[in-house]
Structure 1
Amino acid sequence: MAGVSLECRDCGAQLRSVEEAQEHAELKGHTNFAESTTRVLNLICTTCGKPCRSHIETDLHTKRTGHAQFADKTSEAAKPVVLESRPAAGEDEAMADAEGQKAKEELVVPEVNKDLLAELEGMGFPVARATRALYCSKGGSVEEAVNWIVEHEDDPDIDELPKVAARKAEPPKPTLTPEEAKAKAQALVEKARRKKEEEEKRAEREREKERIRIGKELLEAKRIEEDNDRKRIIALRKAEKEEEKRAREKIRQKLGEDKAERRRKLGLPPEEPKAAADAVPLVVEPFEKEAKKSTLPVRPATKAEQMRDCLRSIKQTYKEDDAKVKRTFQTLLTYIGNIARLPSEEKFRKIRLTNASFQERVGNIEGGIRFLELCGFERDETGEFIILSHGKIDLILLNTAGAELNSAISNPFFGVL
């Protein structure tokens, strides 16, 4: 297969054309290039059209822009490498002069490893063939030279000595004084240090952008979670109001049935609804009113109200030490939040009562353990632990407890009035 790219033997970079190889040589100072049958990747971003030449470039592009779809145009862009560059207009004469000058240069047989040449001669290979094989295979080893001979044994010039232009004596490099050498070394060190600082700044900017992005995502997730908690609390309170309404209706209905039963026992006719509505209310003495009030069933306090009263009692008991109260509320919120987030984790549902940190933050606070009991915690048989068993986990109740704690922490007037 014809070469479709040039490979830099110094760093391994794949280049599409001679022009790219020349630019690479000028930038990097590399001069060892060879034809390669490996195509240079041409991956086009389907979103913005940016071309990428490697999977590393596609990964970086995806990280910066979020674009992840790329079209592979490698086969369309791959073209055979033309090693003979075409002269630009007006350069024909200069190239002709250069070629004439090159033709006048003396051609000599290149030097090869004498030991390897003698070994190949000992194998029976002609001197010209062995010399050409060692020169073309870079003189690495006898095995490489033999492989080259096998691959090129049909070449018409295989038994001709290779010719190369004689090397001109390079002018001696000017020697530097100790002061100049020290100054040059210092300049190189400063250049390397500046390059490193620029790379560190660029990496820091990338990290800062990543931190900002993650922060925005966390804030958005927190906002969504707060909205969901607010909706759950609203739904819970609505359900409580409906339950209270149904309970009042049952009580009213029961009172009506009892009243009708008493009239029936006294032999009185059933009371007509309209007459009952138009009846003039009787004047009742205060003590009789109190007696009637005492006979009505009292609506039991809901768990939310009990929790609120418990937190209000803690706030009023330790009103002189606001920091202690806030720390207790936050500790209780942490316990409740861990269970609501991971209800299957037993370690969050089992608290040692003798734990020093627990005693300081909750255990020694009057009403702290009571609040946990309202959330479903119970003491075990030994009395050493307070446990919320898996079967008694009520996520709605835990959410209610979290809402009450949040309100107690964020409301500066909680428990004051």
Structure 2
Amino acid sequence: MRRLWGLTERAVRRGQSHAELTSHTNFSESTEAVLNLVCTTCGKPCRSKTEMDLHTKRTGHGDFTDKTMETAKPIELEAPKAADAVEESPGGAESSDLSQEMVVPDVDKSLFEQLESMGFPPARATRALHYSGNSSIEAAINWVAEHEDDPDIDQMPLVPVNDKKEASKPSLTPEEVKKKAQELRERARKKKEEEEKRMEREREKERIRIGKELLEAKRMEEENERKRIMALRKAEKEEEKRAREKIRQKLEEDKAERRRKLGLPPEEPSAPKPASPVPEKKSAFLPVRPATKAERMRDCLRSLKQTHKDDDAKVKRAFQTLLTYIGNVARNPDEEKFRKIRLNNQTFQDRVGSVRGGIEFLEICGFEKQEGDEFLFLAREKIDMAVLNSAGSELNSAIANPFFGVL
């Protein structure tokens, strides 16, 4: 209310000064009505709902009195005429002056001196003690901290004479002051504990949320890994199935070839197979088909993988080096440098010569030892592109298949 009165007083003075300078006396109010909501606890005036909500948030005071209509008065910009002032009755003038007279409110002197010794200006100390109810130093300091941004914080507060008389009361006893300070400290402690509990709940919620996200991410990773392993196993089974089918077809072809050589008619695929009689001892020995070079290469690579199963990097390096040698010969069959390998070469020994089956694989592809086992050499006329292609296919399969040589 004091703040609103001060703003109105300044507006009136400015209007009167403008009227004296320009002789303009016709003024109209251009601002919206200002609320005057007074806190019943500490007397803080609030001019809007926003300011009232902010004050409640800061102090916890939620009880306000609406005094907007009491302070709303018409603004008189023209100075009162002397004749009108003379015609007023003495009694009426004295009554009007008494009702409008504003004085500095009384505050506790000991508390006032303590605030001054702390460095607070007299006006600020008086205002803080007045609006905090002269209760304690702590209450006054809290009031200053809450209202330090008020434009009239360093203006001496004024109250009507009647309000001063009604507000005059004996100061609190030391016991009451001590009790009041204890209540304030207890209230601040409880508020701090509640705030700490609230923050702890928030932190616990955040920890739970992060834990759930980590568990979900781990579950998704395990699910993806499981799907990847299943896909690899499925691909391995498909490869084994194709290999068995090729072997079966090859056996059928060999069987048909043997029947043709023996002069027997081809076997009807739809005819039921008769029960095979017990073979006689003389016909029990059938010619065994020698293993093809592709099968020997596969067995050689499988043996290499199983021999060095604890060193996957070494096995993979050997496979890639063999693939490089075979590829160079297949792409450049006329270049002798690609068909001749020095056995005591350190790089060759580290990658191929030191692993079991490396030199044997090259010999299956056509390489031969020469010059006292110092070189591996593949003669130009002995190059078989079909054999080299089969070797490349077997090496690619061994490199790409993670289960090669395991089963």
Smaller-chain TM-score range? 0.3 to 0.5
TM-score w.r.t. structure 2 length? 0.36
Structure of greater Rg: 2
TM-score w.r.t. structure 1 length? 0.35
